[in-house]
Amino acid sequence: MKDLQPVRLNDGMSFADTADVLIIGLGAAGASAAIESRGAGADVLVLERASGGGGSTQYSGGFLYLGGGTRPQRANGFADSAENMYRFLSAATPAPDHRKIRDYCEHSPAHFDWLEAQGLRFNDGFYPHKHFEHSTEDGLAWSGNEKVWPYLEAATPVPRGHKVTSPGGQGQLGEGGLKLITTLITRAKALGVRIEPDAFVQQLIVDAEGRVVGAKYRNFGETRLVRARRGVVLATGGFGANKAMLEQYCPLLAEEHSNVVGAPTADGSGIELGASVGAALNNMAGCLITSPFYPPASLLKGILINKLGRRFVAEDSYHGRSAWACLQQPDRIAYLICDNAVFGRPEFQAQPLIDAWESVAEMEQALGIPAGALQAELATYNTEAASGRDPAFHKQKDWLQPLVEPPFAALDCSYGKAFYTGFTLGGLKTSALAEVLDDQNRPIPGLYAAGACASNIAQDSAGYASGTCLGESTFFGRRAGLGAAGVVAD
C-alpha cells in the first residue's frame, strides 16, 4: 500500500472549486451519499475517477440484502422483523459490530422505501428455487444461509435478497446492478449534485487541527485543489484491482487461479487516502470467494468430499460457504460426488466433470482416495439420508437422497481446477454513522466512508449473503452523506 501523506492547508492555496460536501467515487455508496447530502441542503461535488459513474455496482446483479418486513416480504407471506434479521446477521458474522447490524436491521424497511423513492423498482414476485443469481424479474429470493444449520436455530429463516427490477429488460445477469446505479446517478443529477468525471484524487487536504477539508486531484494532466466546507466522503470501492495490496492483505485473491470481480478503478486508492490521515484498517483479509455448483438444484443432493474421502460441509449451504469450506480442505482438493439420479451440468460451468464410473470403488481408486474411505463415507450417508437425517452436517431433508444409482460422477471443485471468483470485504474502520475512525476508535474530523472501501457488515465468504454489499453500501452511503453535510442520522 502506498505511504501517502496529506496536503497541509495554508493561506496561499488556490482552489479550483469549493463545495459543502466532497464525495470521492460514484458507485452505489457515493451516489447514495450525494443524494442524502444534497437532500440536506448541501452543495455537493462528486469527483469520479472514471469517465462516468458506476464503479463495481454496474457489474453486479442488483441484489440488496434487506428485511425486517419489506413490502415484497409481506406480499409473499413472510413475517420478518428487525430482531429476527439482527439475530441471523449476528450469527453469520465472525466478529459482528452489533451497533451497525442493529441499525441496519431496524432501518431496513425504511431503507427499502427510500430506494424506491429514488426511482428504483422491486416487483413482488418470489423466486423460491436455489440459484446463485436468478435471471427472472422476481424481486425476492433466498440469497444466503438462512435455511442452513446452525443459522436456522438462531433466527427464523426468511428470504431477504431483493433484486432491482429492470423494466424492458429480460432479467439477464448484471442488468440489475446497472439499473441500480443508473437510477441513483440520475436522481443525484436531478437534485443538483455536481459531478466531475476523470478526476483522480491523489491526496486529502487537512487543516492545522487535523480536520479533512478537501482534496488534491488530477484531471487530464492538470492538478487541482478542491475545498470542502463541511465534510469529505470516501466511496472509491475495494482493492481488488491492486495486486500489491491483495498480496499484502488478502493473498488468496492474489493467487493465479482467483478471478477478482469489480471495476478496474477499485484499486484501494480510497483506503490509502484514509490511511494517510490516520485511519485504522479493518478486516483486510476478508473476502467473498465462491464457485457456485448449483443450479441445477439436484446437485445439492450430491456430497462434497475431500482427498481423504470425507465430507466437510452441508451441501445445501449458500455457495460462498460451501466454496470456502472447499478451500479449507487438504491441498484445496474437493469433489462433488453424484449418482445418475441427481447428476446435472452446473449452470455456472465452474466445476469440470472428471469422469463417471460404474462403482464407487472404481471412482475412489481413480481419484486417489484411500481404499475404502469413500465407500464407507457414502454408505453412512446413504443410510442416514434414507431416514431423512444428516447428523454430521444437518443438510435439510429436501436435499437428502441416497446416492445409489450408477454410474457415479465426480465434479472437480478443487482450487485451480474449478473457477473461483470473488472480491474484497476489508477497508477503513468506520462507526455506525460512517465516520472514519483512527486506531483509538476516534472519528477523524470531516472524513466519512462507505461502500467497499469501508469495513462494515459483510466480513467473510462463509457468512456472506448475496446483496449484503449493495445493501450496506447504499445504507451507510446515506449516513456518510448526512454526516458530511452536518446532519446526524437517526
Work out the average pLDDT over 2-6: 90
DSSP summary character for residue 356: E
pLDDT value for 202? 97
Alpha carbon separation from 466 to 190, 219, 471 (Å, rounded): 30, 36, 9
Residue showing cell 486506531 = 439
> Stretch 177-197: mean pLDDT, rounded?
97
For residues 267 and 290, what is the distance between their CA atoms, to the nearest angstrom?
Answer: 21
% of the chain with per-residue pLDDT over 70: 98
Question: Of the ranges 164-178, 182-196, 237-251, which one carries the lowest mean pLDDT score?
Answer: 164-178
Average pLDDT in the chain: 96
Residues contacting 262, CB < 8 A, separation 6+: 56, 59, 237, 238, 240, 241, 423, 452
Q: What is the pLDDT of residues 98-111, one digit of tens each?
A: 999 999 999 999 99
The grid cell for 51 is 469517465
- The better pLDDT of the pair 406, 176 is held by 406
Q: Report residue 174's pLDDT band, with 50, 70 and 90 as the boundaries.
A: low
Q: What is the pLDDT of residues 238-284, one digit of tens each?
A: 999 999 999 999 999 999 999 999 999 999 999 999 999 999 999 99
Alpha helices, H only, 169-314: 175-191, 243-249, 251-254, 269-276
Cis peptide before 296 (omega within 30 of 0): yes
Amino acid 170: pLDDT: 47
423 bridge partner residues: 288
Q: Which of 15-24, 173-182, 261-270, 297-306 shows the lowest mean pLDDT across its residues?
A: 173-182
Q: Is the pLDDT of residue 128 over 70?
A: yes
Average pLDDT rounded to a whole number, residues 194-209? 97
Task: Identify the band that residue 2 occupies on the pLDDT scale cut at 50, 70 and 90.
Answer: confident
By CB neighbour count within 10 A (0-12 exposed, 13-18 middle, 19+ buried), where does 330 fall? exposed
**pLDDT tens-digit profile of 24-66?**
999 999 999 999 999 999 999 999 999 999 999 998 989 999 9
Q: Which domains are seen in the chain, by residue range? A: 1-289+421-490 (3.50.50.60), 292-418 (3.90.700.10)
For residue 358, what is its C-alpha cell? Answer: 460404474
C-alpha to C-alpha distance for 452 and 475, rounded to whole angstroms? 12
Strand partners, 290: 421
Choice between 58 and 330, residue whose per-residue pLDDT is larger: 330
Give dist(CA 346, CA 155) in Å, integer.
30
Per-residue pLDDT tens for 380-418? Answer: 999 999 999 999 999 999 999 999 999 999 999 999 999
458 neighbors 11 (Cβ within 8 angstroms): no
Beta-sheet strand order (sheet of 287-290): 258-260, 420-424, 287-290
Confidence of residue 167 (pLDDT cuts 50, 70, 90): low
**pLDDT value of position 171:** 47
Band (175; pLDDT cuts 50, 70, 90): confident
- d(Cα 100, Cα 320) in Å, to the nearest integer? 22
Query: What proportion of the chain, given as a percentage, has pLDDT over 90?
Result: 93
Mean pLDDT calculated for residue range 283-297? 97
According to the model, what pLDDT value does residue 84 have? Answer: 98
